[in-house]
Structure 1
Amino acid sequence: MTIEWNPSPGPTLGVEWEVQLIDAQTRMLRQDAATVMAGLPGLAESGEHPKMRHELMQSTVEVVTGICGTVAEAKADLDVTMKELQRTAEPHGIVLAGAGTHPMSDWRDAKMAPSQRYSELVEQIQWPARRLQTYAVHVHVGLRDETRVMPVINALAVYLPHFLGLTASSPFWSGIDTGLASTRSVVFGALPNTGPPPGLPDWTHFEQYMDTQLRAGTIRTIKEVWWDIRPHPDFGTVEVRIADAVPTFREIGMVAALAQCLVQLFDSQLDRGYRLPVRSQWVVRDNKWRATRYGLDAIVITDDAGATAPLRDEIYELLRELEPIAWRLGCANELAVASEVLECGASYERQRAVYGRYADLTSVVDALVTEFAEDRFILTESGRHRG
């Protein structure tokens, strides 16, 4: 089986942000994506919008960028579309928020989007798909040719806990604290064909893997491979899918900058003939679990011999390494937001701090709505990281 790669001219960017539709009064999820999207300007005759899409559940609208050259361009693209969505949603009594899960709403109240593809998906997968009221951020970064794809994906897999720790935003599920930093990772991970990429060494092995999956009937299309990092041959990108949806534009810029800088680093190292970092599959999977459970407080495995280090320290070291690349790509300010998250707390920490102060999940949703609308972190005294 041959899978054609559509080359990208350098580390181009595309961002996909899954946004929650929240009732302005009750602060519960509203299952009204179809109503909101029907009122958008610029709809095609098919009813589709070029920058907004339905997701599986009616509580979600996915806002996407075009092909962007810089993180600032991607943020500006999202901002225009998001303002359009806000203007359309407001008359319906709907406000927007970003987080991996909604703290209070019960997944059993979710309604599926009107799509034959989604209906078939739920029929095939059943309960794991029916409870999939979760939200993520996906970042696409362009690569020039397919020979680089699997080495870059395997290197990015080393940094799954870094992405997840910084973005984890789903400590609550259906009204309870799960004890996890990222409940979304567990809920989404119950689907088939999810989790870390399998460590395929090159593009030929990827083609063979996909051919086997298709012949076995495991998937119907390669788009049904939902790895935490996957290739997207049509776009010519590697797609980083591990991140929870985050509440602010500042954190969106942070995720995009981290992805773009890492891909640029690995691409340049391949040019110089370097061997990219790689970890055994057990290390990659164990580190993902540690970040899922403990977020930024995870102690992660740093080599195949079992050495460990605090994730916070590893992130600080990575940011120092990437800083020169970020300046060259024009995203140094966006990358620096990661240091602010380390200091002020990731979203899961900020949400728990609000709940600790008010003992009320409605207040947590209030904070998420405010963070989204005002692009700032809601901090309480107990929410500041003290090391």
Structure 2
Amino acid sequence: MRTARRTTAPYACAMDFAHSARGTLGVEWELQLVDRTSRDLAPVAPAVLARIDDDRVKGEFLQNTVELVTGVHGTTDAAVAEVRELRDLVVAAADAEGADVIGSGTHPTARWRGQPVSDSPRYRRLIEHGGSWAERLLIFGVHTHVGIDRPRQQTVPIVHALLDHLPLILALSASSPYWQGHDSGYASQRAMLFQQIPNAGLPPDMPDWETWERVAHDLVHVGAADGLTELRWDVRPSPRLGTVEARIADGAPSLAHLHAVTALTHCLVEERMRALDDGTEPERIPSWLVRENRWRTARFGLDAVMITNAEGATMRVAEVLHSTLDRLAPIAEDLGATAGIDAAVAVLAQGGSSAQQREAMIAGGMDAVLEHLVEAMRD
């Protein structure tokens, strides 16, 4: 019997990785524009962007969304200060258009059908490739970029560290309990929706840099993605910017929530880089347990019971987060992240955004949930 000969493209995929100073920071924050009367999503991003005329405020997949993109900063506090400036610009421009701004991972009541998509070849390809699951991406997040100066040595260990701590970032940020007017039962409905499209959710388990180059090359070569930016994993290397990018966080309802998630992510990356400097190798959680942790945290948020080691030990996420924030305090002092760690402690004390939205629902129904989100953004 003859067997088909397997053909492959020549393997020449050494990846260029932009130079970045170690530990530098950039933040991206996706914000929703809502009608002032109905509180439904409003496709006024083009008008808002025209009023601002600042390339740090960008359009996104849908015309009801704008994205704040900071420059490169040396400290958490400096990055968040720029975010505050951009948030104020958007709130003022939206106000002039009769709209308000909210920042949760999903809009609590909006329907995904019929939302106007921004006119971009990239977004048209996303719809064509992802079909109705791509059309359902009425979701909003926070992305944190941290610069690395030795990509071949640092990138994959940092990705592993962020995946092992993924429940902490996701639980601290979880802000999407409601979907199309109903309680989804999840703290982060966004995390469950986003993983449905190709090359989203958890990345493949990659033991080293060479494997990452191979995986990225093969996925682009076979047409699974048009480029590296279409590998939309929860945590990924970003060679164009010279960073590792954490993408798991839900949209931040307030500047305080954004400060908390940014500080936690920044400090976790620096902690892993210091371990590399010392030649230490922290124990990894197997990929199948990382997957289980992701689901548990999306479902239960801060109340999730996460798996903490390869032997299957467990602890409530909120408890692990408390001890982790204490452990990171010295690193936070060096990174200008102490105020962000304090903000994370405050988010924990308040129970997180998902819990706060559910409390607002009990107190005053869905109108109260939406008002809570509008006020949180203006605070």
The residue number in structure 1 matching 2:106 is 101
The residue number in structure 2 matching 1:34 is 46
- Length, aligned pairs only: 366
Q: 1:305 to 1:257 in 2, by over 3 A?
A: same
- 3-state SS, counterpart of residue 41 of structure 2: coil
The residue type paired with residue 70 of structure 1 is T
State the 1:305 CA deviation.
Answer: 2.2
Whether the 8 Å contact between 2:177 and 2:183 is mirrored in structure 1 is yes
Q: 1:50 to 1:276 in 2, by over 3 A?
A: farther
The residue number in structure 1 matching 2:91 is 86
CA RMSD of superposed structures (Å): 1.1
Whether the 8 Å contact between 2:52 and 2:89 is mirrored in structure 1 is yes
Alignment partners' CA distance in 2, 1:329 and 1:170:
29
The Cα offsets for residues 10-38 of structure 1, whole Å up to 9 and x where unpaired, read as 20000000001011111111012122212
1:111 and 2:98 correspond: no
1:160 and 2:166 correspond: yes
1:11-90 alignment runs, 5 A limit: 11-41=23-53, 49-90=54-95
Whether the 8 Å contact between 1:30 and 1:94 is mirrored in structure 2 is yes
The residue type paired with residue 223 of structure 2 is G
1:4 and 2:16 correspond: yes
1:367 and 2:372 correspond: yes
1:262 and 2:274 correspond: no
State the 1:298 CA deviation.
Answer: 0.3
Which of 264, 286, 299 aligns to 1:280? It is: 286
Whether the 8 Å contact between 1:155 and 1:277 is mirrored in structure 2 is no
The residue type paired with residue 7 of structure 1 is H
Whether the 8 Å contact between 1:153 and 1:197 is mirrored in structure 2 is no
State the 1:249 CA deviation.
Answer: 0.7
State the 1:176 CA deviation.
Answer: 0.4
- Of the structure 1 ranges 270-279 and 96-105, higher mean CA displacement relative to structure 2 is found in 270-279
- 3-state SS, counterpart of residue 206 of structure 2: coil
Alignment partners' CA distance in 1, 2:97 and 2:303:
40
The residue number in structure 1 matching 2:7 is none
1:211 and 2:217 correspond: yes
The residue type paired with residue 95 of structure 2 is E
The residue number in structure 2 matching 1:249 is 255
Alignment partners' CA distance in 1, 2:114 and 2:39:
14
| Structure 1 residue runs without a partner (length 5+) | 42-48, 375-387
* TM-score (structure 1 length as normaliser): 0.92
The residue number in structure 2 matching 1:310 is 316
State the 1:87 CA deviation.
Answer: 2.1
The Cα offsets for residues 116-159 of structure 1, whole Å up to 9 and x where unpaired, read as 21112101111011111100000001111112100111111001
State the 1:198 CA deviation.
Answer: 2.0
- Of the structure 1 ranges 193-202 and 138-147, higher mean CA displacement relative to structure 2 is found in 193-202
Alignment partners' CA distance in 2, 1:334 and 1:214:
37
Alignment partners' CA distance in 2, 1:337 and 1:91:
30
Alignment partners' CA distance in 1, 2:86 and 2:377:
14
The residue number in structure 2 matching 1:382 is none
Alignment partners' CA distance in 1, 2:219 and 2:351:
41
1:288-367 alignment runs, 5 A limit: 288-358=294-364, 360-367=365-372
State the 1:221 CA deviation.
Answer: 0.5
Whether the 8 Å contact between 1:151 and 1:276 is mirrored in structure 2 is no
* TM-score (structure 2 length as normaliser): 0.94
Alignment partners' CA distance in 1, 2:181 and 2:160:
36
Whether the 8 Å contact between 1:152 and 1:276 is mirrored in structure 2 is no
The residue number in structure 1 matching 2:155 is 149
The residue number in structure 2 matching 1:225 is 231
Alignment partners' CA distance in 2, 1:227 and 1:80:
29
* Shift >4 Å, 4+ stretches: none
Q: Percent identity?
A: 37
- 3-state SS, counterpart of residue 214 of structure 2: helix
| Structure 2 residue runs without a partner (length 5+) | 1-12
Alignment partners' CA distance in 2, 1:59 and 1:50:
17
